[in-house]
Every structure is written in C-alpha cells, then in structure tokens.
A and B are shown apart, each in its own frame.
Chain A
Amino acid sequence: MDENMHITLRCLFCSQPLKAEEGAEFQSSDMIECSECGESNDYDSVFEVAKESALEEVKSQLQDDVKKKFGKHFKKK
C-alpha cells in the first residue's frame, strides 16, 4: 500500500479541483471559490469530503493487499 497519498480538494458543486494561490492558507469557516464554476465552497465540508474519499481509497488498497497476500492460501487445489 502507498504510504504517501495525495488527495485533491474538489469543488462540491462541479467536482473540479479547487485551485488557490501558492501559499494561500485556509481555515475552518472559510469559503473557497471554485475557478471553474464560480461557486463558493465551505472549507470544512470540502475537507470532510476529501477525508471520506481518502478513507475509501485506503480501504480499497487494504482490501487489495489482503487479497494478494492471503488469496494464494485459499486457492482451490
């Protein structure tokens, strides 16, 4: 499983990656404007969706790893 994972923060409305100026910092309750659709996104919600996405990715990778490692032990002879 990859130890480093890169998750892109996406616009809640159009799902396009959110872009910001280099060095820009955001905190709870900030609104981030999407450069694609122009909608303002609640930062906390964007983060929650990204977190959920990351957990799903980790779960999927773990399942693949388990299948690879233990699959051979349960193959029919």
Chain B
Amino acid sequence: MQKETDFDEFDLLDVFYAEMLEKGEPHHLVRMSVDSEMAGRIAEERGIWVEEEQLQELAGRCLANKWLSHTTMGGGKYSDLQLTTQGYGVAKSKREQKKIAEEKGRLKKISEYIEEHRGLFIFLGTLVAIVGLLIKIYGGGQNG
C-alpha cells in the first residue's frame, strides 16, 4: 500500500468527483463526510492509506479555498460536504492535466526510442532507398 504522503487535497477532491460520476449526479447533489469511512474507502479503491486526521486536514484546506462547502448547518466541520462549482472545476482540471501528461508521456517515449535508435532508423531508411533504386535499375533493365 502507498504511503499517505501520496495523497493531497486534489486527490480528496477527486474522491468527490469520482463519487459524482459513479452516482451519475451533478456535484451539488453529492455529499460525503470526511471520516474514517472515507479513509477505508480510499484504502480499498485506491490502495492508499490516509489517516482520518490527515484527510480532515486536507478537507480543511479545501474548505478554506472554497473547493468544498457544507450542505447542512449544525453538522460536524467535516460532515456532509459537497464540491463547489470551483472545486468541481479544480477536480476536472486535474483529471485533464493527468490525461494530457499520460498522452505526452507515451509520445515522448516513442520520440525517445527513435532518438536512441536513430542510427538504426537511418540505416534502415538507407537500405530501403538502395533496394528501391536497385529494383528500379535492374527491374527497369529486365523489362526493357
């Protein structure tokens, strides 16, 4: 299992975002409490163990940035929270950033492979050109 330091406030927002997608409901209709139950769920679904206190600290940051808000009055500080429109935007942006980074990673790997084996590709290209030229010369000679 990964260390808790691999989990930040953006990952917490992603938990809400994922719940939203799973339930098929808009962000303002999805509410979750940041408690030991959430910690257990994160451990099960993402393979990361985060202490409840750490989760609540991250939730505090999200509340301060207005990425999360309370849906009920009088409940606990970390109970019945929902993504704000801004928080939803942050979570969605982070997912897009990750997707772009993964795609770039793949293209970069292909580019690096070609760069590393540049000599081989030049040799193969030259070989193909020579074979093509020979076919043209001798193939044209045989036909004529």
Q: Which positions 72-116 of chain B face chain A at CB distance < 8 Å?
A: 85-86, 88-90, 92-93, 96-97, 100
Query: A62 vs B134: C-alpha distance in the bound complex, in angstroms?
Result: 83
A57 close to chain B: CB less than 8 A: no
Check if B96 sits within 8 Å of A12, measured CB to CB.
no
Give A33 Cβ to nearest chain B Cβ, in Å.
10
Query: A42 vs B93: C-alpha distance in the bound complex, in angstroms?
Result: 5
Query: A51 vs B36: C-alpha distance in the bound complex, in angstroms?
Result: 36
Check if B97 sits within 8 Å of A40, measured CB to CB.
yes
* Residue interface bits A22-44, CB-to-B below 8 A is 1, else 0: 00000000010000000111101
What is the number of residues of chain A that contact chain B, defined by CB distance less than 8 Å?
Answer: 13
Query: A55 vs B84: C-alpha distance in the bound complex, in angstroms?
Result: 15
Check if B90 sits within 8 Å of A31, measured CB to CB.
no
Query: A42 vs B90: C-alpha distance in the bound complex, in angstroms?
Result: 8
Check if A42 sits within 8 Å of B85, measured CB to CB.
no
Q: Which of chain A's residues have a CB closer than 8 A to the CB of B97?
A: 31, 39-40
Query: A49 vs B27: C-alpha distance in the bound complex, in angstroms?
Result: 13
Give B127 Cβ to nearest chain A Cβ, in Å.
43
Given known pairs A45-B85, A48-B85, A49-B85, the reply for A12 and B90 (CB within 8 Å) is yes
Partner of B86, one of A31, A40, A49: A49
Check if A31 sits within 8 Å of B89, measured CB to CB.
no
Give B138 Cβ to nearest chain A Cβ, in Å.
55
Nearest B residue (CB) for A47: B89
Nearest B residue (CB) for A41: B93
Nearest B residue (CB) for A51: B85
Check if A52 sits within 8 Å of B85, measured CB to CB.
yes
Query: A12 vs B97: C-alpha distance in the bound complex, in angstroms?
Result: 14
Q: A12-B93, A48-B88 are in contact. List 11 more A-B contacts (CB 8 A).
A: A12-B89, A31-B97, A39-B93, A42-B96, A44-B92, A45-B86, A45-B88, A45-B92, A46-B89, A48-B89, A52-B85
Q: Can you offer 8 A-B residue contacts whose CB atoms are under 8 A?
A: A40-B93, A45-B85, A45-B88, A45-B89, A46-B89, A48-B89, A49-B86, A52-B85
